[in-house]
């Protein structure tokens, strides 16, 4: 008997049986979610020993000349066309010319390849478009985002038959068809796989011909673009009781394209998502018959709907909402830095108050971090990866951090950001935050189950192999595979434990790091914590096994650590890729100090709450013998970050690059007024300092005393006027508000579906529509 067969038969076999009971069992939907997409830098972090040269050598995302021109041309033009206030509060829709522009300039076809008439943009270009649009109108941005996100276009591209692609993609590219995707129903939200919408395979007549088809019944809600869609991508559970397709009764979740004009389809009235009026509403189908070849990918893809969805989400989750969130944070940095500079209280610019600086510093660092992570993730996607765990991290973290940045921005603006009207530039973003938090996997469930739960299985060097071996129907083959994976795992765990211990006890001083100037020490700390993370994961899986899945608070904290590691890597990479800008160093320090503090606190919380106490004591001894030590960024770093956004400069420009800047001539646009006031205020700062030194506040008196010249006095007065215009808010006559009142709601009862969407009365319509009518 060879050594290896002795090991397999006498050591591995009993462990194999034990592990079959202990390791988490995967449900069919979990398995499909895990098998969707692939792994990337997340897998490196899970090894406990990330290869920094690989990270730094990874090429940053770049735009082609054509993509650049699209951003400078149609995107800029679209931004100038939209009036967010009127869209949300008066017209309750995008005006017709904006709809026409979106279609004709192919905003709905960014991901559709050129051969089908689309723009064929890279993921990065797609992200840049969404980012810029999000800084002028969330409504326009979501409208452009959805056809390029999870839905018919993406699904057809990945899974459609050639006939389906040839028919639908050119029509979608030309804007002749408006797509939406119906997954969520009243019963099934986060647990979408529990949907009760059905399709039954049967014979019927379609377009005058007899065929095998599907009789559909569904009730979906919250469907973006649903009220105006011409084609609905529908998720339902397919059954085949008469075995017309094969020998299975329950085929499972299936995706099909349903033209919305078919008999039995009801398009409901509109939801109003947080008063952001992008088209969204419920829809129903009653005995709608479609041929089986309307299944996306054809009959061969029947029952594979969940896997298809997860696969499409694996990429899409990393683009739409992270781009919107990065835009949100950058926009907050842009306007809040400017507003804090121009707004005075107690005769001082509020930007000088320490408590305001605390918020400004956080906003600036968040803007830097989110854009770093967005760019790095887009680069991975453009390189052909579909890293499902990374994109889940991006979705959850970007939206959460945007929430904090927007709340900080609101607080710094005070009443200015609360009073609605055309002069308010933060209200829409503030209302939009919960939408971003909820869609594409609500954040609580994303943090608790997806970021780490799937990450542990997906990215761990051996776990998935072990689980597959344990579930192998061929027991002998399974045992063989398990034997190999398990002992490699043991070796890996031993090395990881030694590594984590050594790095923790030496404070990370000896941990690997590239020569990266002032940031080298941060690489060392990340190497240290990656090893600790890998060890803690192994120990948790070993001691908790399948129970870890139900320990959502523990799992979520692991998810936070993995997220912090990923985002910190993105920050370090950005600093490196941008030529190690010295001015940006405080931002890097802020992000890394905050991340390292969070990582240490999360480890501490895991250890304190870990149910298997001896394992917790061992972990404490190995990775955190002295408890959490870091406190986050120092006041000095916070101060320097805040300073970057309260005065014009290259660092501020780098943070807020490529946002939409309304023309300075716009006298009704809050951002235009703010930018003008900011520029004038910053320019007169030296004059004001001179007056301050001379202890004179009154401009005319300063001229009389010859502290300043008459020309300087004029500039000061112009700046003061600009500031007054920028801090102004709107007010309304009671009649105006009465005219704007919303109609009575409808409960969306499927028994009384109203076919029409809420339409503005003619007098409320945008001028172009009135003219057309």
Shortest approach of ligand FAD to residue 663 CB, angstroms?
Answer: 31
* Cα R_g (the chain), whole angstroms: 29
Give me the least distance between CB of 753 and ligand FAD, in Å please: 18
User: Which residue lies nearer to ligand FAD by CB, 366 or 399?
Assistant: 399
Catalytic residue among 128, 177, 400, 440: 440
Phi/psi for 295 (5° steps) reads: -65, 130
- Using the structure block, give the residue that is written with the tokens 């004029």: 714
Is 440 part of the annotated catalytic residue set?
Answer: yes
Between 19 and 562, name the residue whose CB sits nearer to ligand FAD: 562
What does 20-53 look like in DSSP terms, one character per residue? Answer: HHHSPPPPHHHHHHHHSSB-SHHHHHHHTS--HH
* Strand, helix or coil for residue 577: helix
What does DSSP assign to residue 227?
G
- Cα separation of 561 and 133, whole Å? 32
CB-CB contact of 43 with 54 (8 Å): no
Q: Looking at beta carbons only, is 195 or 702 nearer to ligand FAD?
A: 195
Pairing state between β 344-345 and 265-267 = unpaired
Structure tokens belonging to residue 459: 């990215």
Q: Which is nearer to ligand FAD, 203 or 550 (CB)?
A: 550
- Residue 491 CB neighbour total at 10 angstroms: 11
Pure H helices in 611-669:
613-623, 635-645, 650-655
Complex with ligand FAD: residue 192 or 495, whichever CB lies closer: 192
Whole-number Å distance between alpha carbons of 666 and 494: 65
Q: Give the closest residue to 181 by CA, choosing from 439, 399, 384.
A: 439
Q: Which residues contact 618 (CB under 8 A, 6 or more apart)?
A: 539
Judged by the rule CB under 6 A, the positions of this chain that interact with ligand FAD are 180-184, 189-190, 222-224, 273, 280, 435, 438-439, 442, 444-445, 448-449, 552
Burial class (CB in 10 A: 0-12, 13-18, 19+), 465: middle
Answer whether 398's CB lies under 8 Å from 374's CB: yes
Strand partners, 284: 219, 266
Name the residue nearer to ligand FAD (CB basis): 16 or 284.
Answer: 284
Looking at the Cβ atoms of 180 and 680, the one nearer to ligand FAD is: 180
Closest CB 300 distance from ligand FAD, rounded Å? 24
CB-wise, 12 or 280, nearer to ligand FAD? 280
CB of 410 to ligand FAD, least distance (A): 20
Which CB atom, from 222 or from 452, has the smaller least distance to ligand FAD? 222
CB of 707 to ligand FAD, least distance (A): 56
In angstroms, the CA 642 to CA 337 distance is 8
Report which DSSP code applies to 567: H
Handedness of CA 254, 258, 262, 266 (dihedral sign): positive
Tokens of 50: 């990330």
Query: Minimal distance in Å, beta carbon 130 to ligand FAD?
Result: 15
β-strands 179-182, 231-239 pairing: parallel
- Number of C-beta neighbours around residue 653 at 10 A: 11
Instruction: Residue count of the chain, please give it.
Output: 773
Structure tokens at 341: 């500079």
Nearer to ligand FAD, 82 or 449 (CB): 449
The span from the CA of 199 to the CA of 289, in Å, is 9
The closest residue (CB) to ligand FAD is 189
Q: How far is CA 751 from the centre of its chain?
A: 36
**262 neighbors 290 (Cβ within 8 angstroms):** yes
The nearest distance, CB 468 to ligand FAD, in angstroms, is 24
Considering the complex, state which of residue 480 and residue 552 has its C-beta at the smaller distance from ligand FAD.
552
Closest CA to 713 of 690, 733, 736: 690
With H, G, I as helix, E, B as strand and everything else as coil, classify residue 210.
strand
Q: Give the nearest distance from C-beta 507 to ligand FAD in angstroms.
A: 36
CB of 545 to ligand FAD, least distance (A): 19
Nearer to ligand FAD by C-beta: 444 or 618?
Answer: 444
Distance of CA 591 to the CA centre of its chain: 18
Judged by beta carbon, residue 142 or residue 680, the one nearer ligand FAD is 142
What gap in Å lies between CA 284 and CA 275, rounded to an integer? 23
Minimum CB distance to ligand FAD, residue 399 (Å): 12
Cα–Cα distance measured from residue 72 to residue 77, given in angstroms and rounded to the nearest whole number? 8
> How many beta carbons lie within 10 A of that of residue 386, not counting itself?
21
CB atoms within 10 A of CB 739: 13
Kindly state the tokens that stand for 540. Answer: 């948790």
Query: b/e for 125-164, b at 16 or more Cβ within 10 A?
Result: bbbbbbbbbbbbbbbbbbbbbbbbbbbbbbbbbebbbeeb
> Smallest gap, in angstroms, from Cβ of residue 183 to ligand FAD?
3
Enumerate residues 6+ apart whose C-beta is below 8 A from 266: 283, 284, 285, 286, 750, 753, 755
**Annotated catalytic sites, by residue?**
440
């Amino acid at each position: 008997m060879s050594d290896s067969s002795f090991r397999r038969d006498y050591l591995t076999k009993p462990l194999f049986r034990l592990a079959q009971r202990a390791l988490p069992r995967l449900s069919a939907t979990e398995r499909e979610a895990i098998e969707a997409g692939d792994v990337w830098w997340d897998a490196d972090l899970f090894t406990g020993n990330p290869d920094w040269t690989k990270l730094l050598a990874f090429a940053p995302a770049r735009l082609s000349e054509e993509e650049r021109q699209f951003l400078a041309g149609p995107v800029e033009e679209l931004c100038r066309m939209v009036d967010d206030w009127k869209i949300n509060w008066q017209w309750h829709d995008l005006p017709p010319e904006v709809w026409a522009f979106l279609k004709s300039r192919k905003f709905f076809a960014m991901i559709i390849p050129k051969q089908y008439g689309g723009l064929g943009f890279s993921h990065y270009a797609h992200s840049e478009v969404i980012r810029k649009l999000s800084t002028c109108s969330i409504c326009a941005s979501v409208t452009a985002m959805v056809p390029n996100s999870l839905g018919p276009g993406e699904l057809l591209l990945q899974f459609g038959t050639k006939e389906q692609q040839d028919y639908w993609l050119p029509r979608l590219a030309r804007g002749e068809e408006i797509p939406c995707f119906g997954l969520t129903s009243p019963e099934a939200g986060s647990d979408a796989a529990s949907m009760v919408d059905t399709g039954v395979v049967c014979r019927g007549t379609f377009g005058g011909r007899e065929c095998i088809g599907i009789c559909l019944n569904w009730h979906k809600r919250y469907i973006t673009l649903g009220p105006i869609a011409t084609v609905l991508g529908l998720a339902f559970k397919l059954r085949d009781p008469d075995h017309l397709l094969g020998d299975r009764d329950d085929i499972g979740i299936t995706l099909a394209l349903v033209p919305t004009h078919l008999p039995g389809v009801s398009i409901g009235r509109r939801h109003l998502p947080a008063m952001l009026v992008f088209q969204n509403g419920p829809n129903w189908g009653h005995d709608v018959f479609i041929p089986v070849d309307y299944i996306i990918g054809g009959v061969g893809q029947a029952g594979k709907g969940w896997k298809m969805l997860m696969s499409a989400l694996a990429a899409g989750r990393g683009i739409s909402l992270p781009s919107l969130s990065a835009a949100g944070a950058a926009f907050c940095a842009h306007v809040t830095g400017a507003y804090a500079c121009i707004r005075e209280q107690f005769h001082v610019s509020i930007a000088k108050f320490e408590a305001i600086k605390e918020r400004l510093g956080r906003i600036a660092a968040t803007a830097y971090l989110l854009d770093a992570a967005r760019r790095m993730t887009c680069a991975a996607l453009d390189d052909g990866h579909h890293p499902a765990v990374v994109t889940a991290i991006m979705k959850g973290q970007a939206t959460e951090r945007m929430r904090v940045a927007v709340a900080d921005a609101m607080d710094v603006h005070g009443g200015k950001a609360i009073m609605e009207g055309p002069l308010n530039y933060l209200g829409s973003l503030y209302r939009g935050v919960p939408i971003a938090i909820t869609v594409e996997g609500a954040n609580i469930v994303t943090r608790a189950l997806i970021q780490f739960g799937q990450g542990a299985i997906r990215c761990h060097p051996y776990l998935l192999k072990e689980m597959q071996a344990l579930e192998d129907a061929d027991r002998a083959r399974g045992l063989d595979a398990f034997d190999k994976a398990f002992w490699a795992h043991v070796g890996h765990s031993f090395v990881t434990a030694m590594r984590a211990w050594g790095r923790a006890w030496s404070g990370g001083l000896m941990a690997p790091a590239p020569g990266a100037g002032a940031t080298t020490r941060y690489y060392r700390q990340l190497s240290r914590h990656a090893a600790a993370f890998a060890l803690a994961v192994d120990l948790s899986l070993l001691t908790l096994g399948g129970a870890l899945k139900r320990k959502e608070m523990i799992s979520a904290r692991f998810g936070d650590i993995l997220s912090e590691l990923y985002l910190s890597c993105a920050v370090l990479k950005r600093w490196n890729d941008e030529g190690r800008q010295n001015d940006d160093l405080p931002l890097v320090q802020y992000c890394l100090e905050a991340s390292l503090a969070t990582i240490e606190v999360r480890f501490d919380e895991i250890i304190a709450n870990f149910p298997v106490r001896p394992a917790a004591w061992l972990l404490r001894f190995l990775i955190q013998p002295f408890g959490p030590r870091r406190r986050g960024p120092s006041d000095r770093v916070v101060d320097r970050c805040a300073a970057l956004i309260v005065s014009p400069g290259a660092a501020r420009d780098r943070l807020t690059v490529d946002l939409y800047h309304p023309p300075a001539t716009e006298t009704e646009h809050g951002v235009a007024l703010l930018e003008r006031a900011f520029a004038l205020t910053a320019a007169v700062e030296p004059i004001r300092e001179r007056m301050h030194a001379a202890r004179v506040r009154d401009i005319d008196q300063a001229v009389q005393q010859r502290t300043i010249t008459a020309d300087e006095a004029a500039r000061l007065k112009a700046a003061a006027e600009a500031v007054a215009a920028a801090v102004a808010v709107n007010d309304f006559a009671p009649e105006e508000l009465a005219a704007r009142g919303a109609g009575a709601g409808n409960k969306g009862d499927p028994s009384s579906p109203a076919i029409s969407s809420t339409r503005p009365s003619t007098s409320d319509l945008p001028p172009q529509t009135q003219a057309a009518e």
